[in-house]
Amino acid sequence: MKALTWHGKRDVRVDTVPDPSIQEATDAIVRITTTAICGSDLHLYEVLGPFIKEGDILGHEPMGIVEEVGPGISHIKAGDRVVIPFNISCGSCWMCDRHLFAHCETTQVREQGMGAAFFGYTELYGEVPGGQAEFLRVPQAHFGPIKVPEGPPDEHFVYLSDVLPTSWQAVEYAGIPEGGSVAVYGLGPIGQMSSRIARHRGARVLAVDLVGERLDMARRHGIEVLDALEHDDVPGVIRELTEGRGTDSVIDAVGMEAHGSPVGKAAHTLAGLLPDAAAQKLMKTAGADRLAVLNLCFDSVRRGGTISISGVYGGTADPINMLKLFDKGVQIKMGQAHVKRWIDDIMPLLSGDGDGDPLGVGDLATHKMPLEQAPHGYEIFQKKQDGAIKVLLQP
């Protein structure tokens, strides 16, 4: 089969690799019809090379048609249309019983001290072959795959793999009071959908970015936007718009790709120059993130407010202004999305018929291209070229 594989920093290629096969009774094989490039994939493209091997198959936002199932599976069958959550969870362990699926104890990557395995994402998360491919072996398929109806196009459902549950959880974790306000930093796919979900649920949303196409997309969905290039003090503007207090909640939908921190950028560059073993040790013990956006979040939230972090951070030695957080009495919630925890809440919003699409899922993908063009998709997404906000690949 054809699959997108990692070969080095900013070097991904479509290779011919062996077809996957059933290995366990709870496996399924899915023929991929649509798979997306995630902002988290750009960390592999740019930063996390020490934890990935040449030839590893990327991608963790797939959907498709079930081709084959193992004997331990009864809730899906060949021919079913399914979306595959990015995290791999068993559905029945101590963590899964508490709907903490991103911490599944059956698939936890204990040798790395990390949570549940997920698709296409380095040895930190199990080095499971990913979904930017023609076919995908799905472990724990007795629980993971989400059946979706025939009819609406893939883009109505493919975001159930990651974008929508991550955004829904970001809003849940933000704890926005009824009729309250939230600032959203970053208008990539997660920021776009977090903004739409929060507005759909009655919040006032102030969204911040510096890319024109992203700001325009948010405006189309009734979001108040602030162009970071037009304001020297974005938190100050947010306070002016909220009676001097700041918003009740803030969502950081950017993470470690934030611009503006030369120390963090230097640390990333240094790690990329070291041999893998040394780079892994550096990143696990002294890694530093680029914290420009997170510091803006600290400044933007009102006293007693809540910060929800959905953007990915990977530093282990980040300097955090604890004085400010403690003095302001800020609550912080964060973490990988527990995908299946939120599906029952989201699914009714995805009918795709007229007003039955309140989240506007049809207006997120800016590019659709065949799998063979995936390297180009990565490049324009990483460089924010050609208006790329969300890229869908179709094997």
Give 63-96 pLDDT, tens digit per residue.
999 999 999 999 999 999 999 999 999 999 999 9
My answer on whether 388 and 356 are in the same domain is yes
CA atoms of 334 and 348, how far apart (whole Å): 25
Q: What is the mean pLDDT of residues 258-267?
A: 43
Closest by Cα among 80, 78, 96, 100 to 143: 96
DSSP H or E run through 169: helix 163-174
Q: What is the mean pLDDT of residues 258-271?
A: 43
Strands (E), the chain: 2-8, 11-16, 28-37, 62-69, 81-83, 135-138, 146-147, 181-185, 204-209, 224-227, 247-252, 301-309, 331-334, 367-370, 391-394
Distance of CA 363 to the CA centre of its chain: 17
My answer on whether 145 and 78 are in the same domain is yes
CA atoms of 66 and 135, how far apart (whole Å): 10
Picking from 334, 369, 385, the residue at the C-terminal end of a domain is: 334
My answer on whether 238 and 298 are in the same domain is yes
My answer on whether 146 and 268 are in the same domain is no
Picking from 314, 334, 354, the residue at the C-terminal end of a domain is: 334
Rounded percentage of the chain residues whose pLDDT exceeds 70: 89
CA atoms of 198 and 180, how far apart (whole Å): 10
My answer on whether 198 and 147 are in the same domain is no
pLDDT at 122: 81
The residues near 57 (Cβ < 8 Å, ≥ 6 apart) are 3, 4, 5, 17, 120, 129, 130, 132, 133
What's the pLDDT tens digit per position in 301-313? 999 999 999 988 8
| pTM (global) more than 0.95 | no
My answer on whether 298 and 375 are in the same domain is no
My answer on whether 53 and 147 are in the same domain is yes
My answer on whether 174 and 143 are in the same domain is no
Closest by Cα among 167, 154, 152 to 197: 167
My answer on whether 129 and 191 are in the same domain is no
CA atoms of 117 and 344, how far apart (whole Å): 23
Rounded percentage of the chain residues whose pLDDT exceeds 90: 80
Confirm if 46 and 256 have CB atoms less than 8 A apart.
Answer: no
The residues near 9 (Cβ < 8 Å, ≥ 6 apart) are 45, 46, 49, 272
Q: Is the pLDDT of residue 135 over 60?
A: yes
My answer on whether 231 and 361 are in the same domain is no
Cα–Cα distances in angstroms (integers) from residue 269 to residues 265, 273, 276, 287, 358, in the given order: 6, 7, 13, 11, 42
Picking from 304, 319, 334, the residue at the C-terminal end of a domain is: 334
Q: What is the mean pLDDT of residues 208-220?
A: 97
My answer on whether 56 and 100 are in the same domain is yes
Return the CATH number at 178: 3.40.50.720
Specify the number of domains making up the chain. 2
Token match 């096969």: residue?
A: 21
Return the CATH number at 82: 3.90.180.10
Q: Where are the alpha helices (DSSP H) in 221-353?
A: 234-240, 262-273, 276-286, 292-300, 322-328, 343-346
Q: Is the pLDDT of residue 193 over 50?
A: yes
Q: How many residues does the chain have?
A: 395
Q: What is the mean pLDDT of residues 224-241?
A: 97
Q: What is the mean pLDDT of residues 213-223?
A: 97
Confirm if 45 and 12 have CB atoms less than 8 A apart.
Answer: yes
Instruction: Give the range of the structural domain holding residue 210, as residue numbers without chain letter.
Output: 166-334
270: how many CB neighbours lie within 10 A of its CB?
15
pLDDT at 319: 83
What's the pLDDT tens digit per position in 331-384? 999 999 999 999 999 999 997 554 678 999 999 999 999 999 999 999 999 999
Q: Is the pLDDT of residue 199 over 60?
A: yes
My answer on whether 172 and 271 are in the same domain is yes
What's the pLDDT tens digit per position in 98-124? 999 999 999 999 999 999 999 998 888
